[in-house]
Chains A and B, each alone.
Chain A
Amino acid sequence: MQLSATSELEHAVPRDVAALAGDFEALVRLYRPKVFRFALASLRDLDAAETVTQDCFLRAYQARDRFRQDCSMHTWLMQIAVNLIRDHTRNRRFQFWRRARLTAKPVDVAGQTIADRAQSPEAQALLKERVAAIWSAAERLPQKQRTVFLLRFVEDMDLLDIAVATGMREGTIKSHLFRAVRAVRERIGEAI
């Protein structure tokens, strides 16, 4: 299977599972940024995100024969990543550093964007504050809410794919998303 056709691969289910092994490097090149981004946004720790990303592809490679093709490759990799991140966040050492981080100065993720928009400086500042508030609120969300929130609003996954990736029912995901969005909106209200 030639994996150079990116768009084809991203949305289609691979027909030949055996070919996964043949061009696994191309799979890694294609999906690594997405898995890494999700891990980094979930864990907010560069080393941990790197570890999770590497483990994700290692496990995918080891389990490539068991890939049932009933979901896209992206969803399947996200499913592995969700499990790894969940395991990682249960680690006591990680929990300690996460608590420490919550009290420390937050990462200025909002500073990454907005600068070149055709908006007034006031509107830009307000938008930046909103983005910072969402970032901060996302960190404080419970694990499951944070996972579905990031999968929905950063990774752009639809509810069915999130259900496959998280192993939760669609109704449960909606419920988590509702709570997450409400918490985020409250946080924006507090911040602004």
Chain B
Amino acid sequence: MNSRNYLLKHLSSEQVSECILGQPSPALAQHVQDCPMCQAELGNFREALGEFRGAVRAWSNDQAKAALDIPAPVSQPRSIASHQLAWAVLIAVVCVIASFIMPRHGAENAAASDAVLLNQVDAQVSRTAPTSLEPLMKLVVQE
């Protein structure tokens, strides 16, 4: 691009890229300075790239915040789990206590039933005659 025709042709895609990447030749820089169309073109693209940077950063921040918010609902199942654990421990304690108490009741009941049985046995053994002969025994006593 010589000094005569540098204003006749607008920047090519490669030349715009050169300018965007910040390494334009002096002739290119001069053209951009003098050509309102190319200046506007570059300005628009730079603005879009700047907005793109801001948009990606904002999006990334939002995603990071969203990721940090994820543990919140996870904490609920954890509290439920801790409640379940507490209930399980409580039930286990009750079972242990019951295992100590219940056999005593059982032993007492068994002892009581044994006593009843022994009384019945004693009553049967202490009889002078079997039950079927008891009416005859009454007659003998009466005599």
Contacts and interface: CB of A to CB of B under 8 A. Distances in A.
B52 A112 contact: no
A36 B59 CA distance: 11
Given A46-B67, A185-B16, A130 B59 contact: no
Nearest to B48: A130
Given A112-B59, A131-B55, A178-B17, A33 B49 contact: no
Interface string A168-185: 000000100110011001
A131 B60 CA distance: 15
B63 A40 contact: yes
Contact of A109 (B45, B48, B56, B67): B56
Nearest to B41: A185
Contacts of B107: none
Q: Which DSSP category, helix, strand, loop or mixed, fits chain B's interface?
A: helix
Contacts of B18: 178
B62 A112 contact: yes
Contacts of A131: 48, 51-52, 55
A154 B13 contact: no
A116 to B, nearest CB: 11
Contact of B49 (A110, A153, A186): A153
Contacts, number: 86
B57 interface: yes
Interface residues on A, range: 20 to 34
Given A46-B67, A181-B17, A134 B60 contact: no
Given A181-B20, A182-B13, A185-B16, A107 B59 contact: yes
B143 interface: no
Q: Interface majority SS on A: helix, strand, loop or mixed?
A: helix
B82 interface: no
Interface in A144-178: 150, 152-154, 156, 174, 177-178
A70 to B, nearest CB: 24
A153 B56 CA distance: 10
Given A127-B51, A134-B49, A181-B20, A36 B64 contact: yes
Nearest to A181: B17
B44 to A, nearest CB: 7
19 contacts: A37-B64, A40-B59, A40-B60, A40-B63, A49-B63, A107-B59, A109-B56, A109-B59, A112-B62, A113-B54, A114-B55, A127-B47, A134-B49, A135-B56, A152-B21, A153-B52, A153-B53, A156-B53, A177-B21
Interface of A: 33, 36-37, 40-41, 46, 49-50, 107, 109-110, 112-114, 127, 130-131, 134-135, 150, 152-154, 156, 174, 177-178, 181-182, 185-186, 188
Interface of B: 13-14, 16-18, 20-21, 23, 44-45, 47-49, 51-64, 66-67
